[in-house]
Chains A and B, each alone.
Chain A
Amino acid sequence: MIYHAPKTLKEFASIASKYGKEAAIVAGCTDVLIKKNFFDNKKTVISTNEIEEIKKIEETEDKIRIGAGVTFTDLLCSKPIKKHCKALYEAAKVCGSVQIRNRATIAGNIINASPAADSIPPLMVSDATLILFKDDKEERIKIKDFFTGPGKTKLKHGQIVAYIELDKDKDNTISFYRKIGTRKALSIAKASVAFRAIKTNGNLSSVNVSYGSVGPTVINSVKAREYLENKALTESTIEEASLMAFGEVSPIDDVRSTAEYRRLVVKNVMIEELRPFIDN
């Protein structure tokens, strides 16, 4: 089997298109090496670890651009992320373990497309855009349109996620990412909720809610989001929104948890996490 470690996106693109389906593309390897058959029927391993241009975090006045090769630890060490992408920052904190965070890349987490992925709900509520690269062509796609099923994305063969772009939090942005795992570290979410909104004079606008691990893909809220738009946060609006959340998720029973619990805990997490944002 041949190994490639391209140094630029362009170099990657030409190698990847040459091999198509027979290329095993790896970054941090924390997801792929657990899959028993990942290298079956592959002719080459292509590592993206040496592509410097995708390892940076850049900020403009109102956007942040995260390179695909940025690790979860990089996210935690980044002042702009801590300040301007709070939900993503909180997600990075609870992903895996120190060892995993030092290797796992944000793009790897996205492309693995698990409904339990920690980076996806916060990116969803920040309405992130993925910048894809194939041959010499750039393609932009909203993250909320990227997933087609558990583990499945619209990524084509020979295409790479190069950057992730999202809006910076504003001064009056409130957000959270809460993960309910099987334990406090080294755990995959049983259910997760990301929330982001702007709060002006007590009222919410640009509300976004997204739920992880409670459907075949990360779910973008419709009902809870629409309900909270233009409302003030009170015990009663929070209760109502949490009931909407309860109703718009479709969890299953599996080895980690039950559908019943997941539904209940999504509702309760909305309550627990939104309460502190109520104006006194």
Chain B
Amino acid sequence: MKFVSSSLVGDDQRHKISENFIASQRDARFRPFYFGAILFTVLVAGGALFVDYMIVTEFWTRALANEFLELPGSLASSVAFKSLQVLFATLAAHIFIEHMGVFGRAVFVRVLFLLALTMLGGVGLLLALMSLPAGLADAGLGGNGASLGTALSSLGIETEAAREAAVAQTGLDEARAYQPVLWMASLGVIFLVVTGVAALFLHYALINLKKLFETRDFAERKADMSRLAALEAEYARNREMLIDMERMDHRRNMLWTRLMDSCRAYERGLEGTRTSYLTGRKVRALPAPGRKRQERAAAEERSGQLKACADSQQIARYEALFEDWWSRRQRMSVNDGGPREAVGEVLPPVNTGRRVPTNKAAE
């Protein structure tokens, strides 16, 4: 017979528990990082929302303002409300991201990056146009050369510069026809980039918040593991105790011990009586006439009682009584339909402490 481990938690499971504990502990160490990440991402998302708000406010202001760029009083407050749509746009983008898979999110981020590049390119182009060299600006786009060419052409003299300026002016006029569309497209790109960034950072903030909450898992896991260890220890102790208690000879021994405890208590009581009897006999120094005989009779009676007690204390008597009681108990158990506590029934049958026969031939 070979004894198999009595643990209810298998080795693989225990290994997994240990791995999970280490991972949880590692996560818990990142708690300050997650906290900082939440702050940072929320700040960035807030900043992006603010930029979006300003862009949309400007849009609505330009759309609703009069020729002096002034808003009528009733519309001033509505602009603020209309601009708050950026909040909902950001939330919509956030929900969109949340519903995306890994691949979709990767595509989203790349598209956002391309839009950001376009935005930066546009900003760079504007800056370049604003800081053109003087000679290039003289070519006809409203510089000094252009005004000179205009003056000469008004006198009927057509110069090369005036001809180039006329060509450029035609191109500008064509471009101006698309100006609202270009303006809206630029605004749209900027809006999309900023909203996308806000939504992404909101997503990261939520991820970090989730991780921050998950770090609490470590404390609970630690407590659970301590509890598991305590339960397993109690289980093992209880199991050992049950193995003993299931045995009939153990039961007999325990009952015998209990009987002997009672006998010892009896012995202590009897000892007190003996002592008081001997002490009382010494005190009576001056007996009255006739009392001596009475005392002797009482003493004889007393010693008779004590002798009877001493006789009753024979171990053989207790053993006989115990055996009598035990055999009666066994008979009653059989009459009741079998032993009251079936041997071997106590051990939990599932995966615990099984005794499996070993192959003797193999040994």
**Chain A complexes with chain B:** no
Q: Chain A residues in contact with chain B, CB under 8 A?
A: none
Identify the B interface with A (CB < 8 A).
none
